[in-house]
Structure 1
Amino acid sequence: MDAVGKRVHAFVRVKPTADFAQDVIKFGPDNKSIDIYIKKDAKKGVVNNKQTDWSFRLDGVLHNTSQELAYETVAKKLVSEALIGYNGTIMCYGQTGAGKTYTMTGATAEYKHRGIIPRAIQQVFKATAHSVDPFVTVRISYLEIYNETLFDLLATMTSNGTGDAQMAVVDCPQGVYVKGLSIHSVSHEEDALNLLFEGETNRVIAEHTLNKNSSRSHCIFTIYIEARRD
């Protein structure tokens, strides 16, 4: 990978609204920058040095973008690189109601509205089906972090009792991992999707003004891919 491929890439996905604030938010002509303008508050007097303008340079701005294009832009290349041995992470960040869960997992009502995770699962299994490596193992884990406590969202799928184990973040010579987190082998795309949906039903949710079932936690869905030749 070249230097550009190794660095962190940042994208902004703008949630569609009925009345977009065009006078406040401006996109650059190349869709790689955002300028934000906030009017000065007259109530704070003539002398007001509070910053009102911001400009951000990004790798891409996704405005009125489909789930398919969002995946093609943000995730497809990273998943391809994971299939040849590179570690990859996609992190979705934003305020409550911004659409993080929709972007990552999507909506179950329509197939075309599925999010990054189910699309990544599909890409992985399509690739492994045509892999030249005779032994490819795919495993799944789903971790929730809520109020600084770790929860295994797939603990209900564990039959050997490890689901009740105390979890902790451990740093060892092989890397950082979560001790006690269950990891599940999957042989087909459907098996992996079932684990994703099982984990989603176990997440902490609460209602707010924009969403009756808003997620209230940080979650890490991990796909482990191991290829070997015996």
Structure 2
Amino acid sequence: MYDLPRVTGCTLEDLLAMNRDDDDTIRDEDQDDTTSTLNGDEGQNADEESNIRIFLRVKPSKKASGFFSWDEDTSMMKYEIPKDVAAGLINNSRTSYKFRFDSVIGMESRQEEVFDRVGRPCVESALNGFNSTVFAYGQTGSGKTFTITGGAERYEDRGLIPRALSLIFERMRNTSQAQIIAQISYLEIYNNQGYDLLDPNHESTKSLDDLPRVAMLEDEDGNCHLRNLSMHPVTTEEDALNLLFLGDTNRAYHWRREEQRVKLYCVPSYILWI
């Protein structure tokens, strides 16, 4: 669960800058210990009730370097880098790195297992009235889209979002004690500017400059609101998936030139009113 920072008049660029600052605090260049902990104190796993949990999913690779290993039982990732990698140069850098996570998901894991371990608890929490967020972080080609959205060829390759939608609407159909209203938005952050991927003007627009920017505002109670971001009520899983696919087709790669280096983030959101 994540709380938006309460910064009056903050922009999306400000929030991204905050994120970069937070990344810098994770690394300690002067530490002598060869173990780095991504969650918990003194190398201990985070408590089950922790608001933020960090999962590592290892992507299958046919050409793995062989420098790393992981242990799902201890939730550890270890790198052992040989001294001779420096091709004969003097190498006084650290050669052993250990990282601890809340959970490590190995190469052989299926999409269903990933959802049960990562997505299902967040959906259950949201249905119980608590804010929940899942996001994937990693370099290009590391498998973020496959994990979040899934593969297009096989039904069993569905990612976290389609499986979450299935669970949400299953609970909506089977719940008679409370009324649940679902709404969807799809925000894209492209070169530090926010755009609504479900804006109906996307279909006829040839340039992102012609679309309204999404701005973050804060009310007098400290609540953050996104202006120019549309909310779309949905009553069926099919309607929700259609909006997800529509947002995907409107992503900025339609306007992006391959030689340009851009910063691109996509944030699909599902609001449940219970």
TM-score (norm. length: structure 2):
0.72
Q: Taking structure 1 as reference, are residues 218 and 166 closer, same or farther at Cα in structure 2, changes over 3 Å only?
A: closer
Using the alignment, how far apart are the partners of 2:238 and 2:89 within structure 1? 58
Counterpart in the other structure of 2:88: 43
Q: Which amino acid aligns with 2:198?
A: L
Counterpart in the other structure of 2:271: 224
> Does the CA contact (< 8 Å) of 2:55 and 2:104 recur in 1?
yes
Higher RCO (Cα < 8 Å, 6 or more apart): 2
Number of aligned residue pairs = 212
Identity of aligned residues (%): 35
Counterpart in the other structure of 1:128: 172
Counterpart in the other structure of 1:211: none
Deviations 1:32-83 (A, max 9, x none): 11101112224322xx321221101111111121111111111101110100
Q: Which runs of 5+ in 1 are unaligned?
A: 209-214
> Does the CA contact (< 8 Å) of 1:144 and 1:151 recur in 2?
yes
Q: Which runs of 5+ in 2 are unaligned?
A: 1-46, 203-209
- Please tell me whether residue 61 in structure 1 is matched to residue 104 in structure 2: yes
Q: Taking structure 1 as reference, are residues 8 and 154 closer, same or farther at Cα in structure 2, changes over 3 Å only?
A: same
SS at match of 2:48: helix
2:55 paired residue among 11, 15, 25: 11
Query: Which deviates more, 52-61 or 183-192?
Result: 52-61
Shift of residue 157, structure 1, vs aligned partner: 7.7
> Does the CA contact (< 8 Å) of 1:106 and 1:113 recur in 2?
yes
Query: Which deviates more, 133-142 or 177-186?
Result: 133-142
> Does the CA contact (< 8 Å) of 1:24 and 1:37 recur in 2?
yes
Q: Which amino acid aligns with 1:200?
A: D
Shift of residue 174, structure 1, vs aligned partner: 5.5
Superposition RMSD on alpha carbons, in Å? 2.3
> Does the CA contact (< 8 Å) of 1:204 and 1:216 recur in 2?
no
Counterpart in the other structure of 2:140: 96
> Does the CA contact (< 8 Å) of 2:194 and 2:214 recur in 1?
yes
SS at match of 1:6: coil
Whichever structure has more strand as a proportion of its residues is 1
Shift of residue 28, structure 1, vs aligned partner: 2.3
1:200 paired residue among 227, 248, 252: 248
Using the alignment, how far apart are the partners of 1:157 and 1:128 within structure 2? 31
> Does the CA contact (< 8 Å) of 2:147 and 2:160 recur in 1?
yes
Shift of residue 18, structure 1, vs aligned partner: 1.3
> Does the CA contact (< 8 Å) of 1:186 and 1:192 recur in 2?
yes
SS at match of 1:75: helix
Using the alignment, how far apart are the partners of 2:231 and 2:96 within structure 1? 47
> Does the CA contact (< 8 Å) of 2:119 and 2:164 recur in 1?
yes
TM-score (norm. length: structure 1):
0.84
Using the alignment, how far apart are the partners of 1:216 and 1:148 within structure 2? 7
Counterpart in the other structure of 2:126: 82
Deviations 1:173-203 (A, max 9, x none): 2522311100100000000000000001111
> Does the CA contact (< 8 Å) of 2:72 and 2:105 recur in 1?
no
Q: Which amino acid aligns with 1:119?
A: R
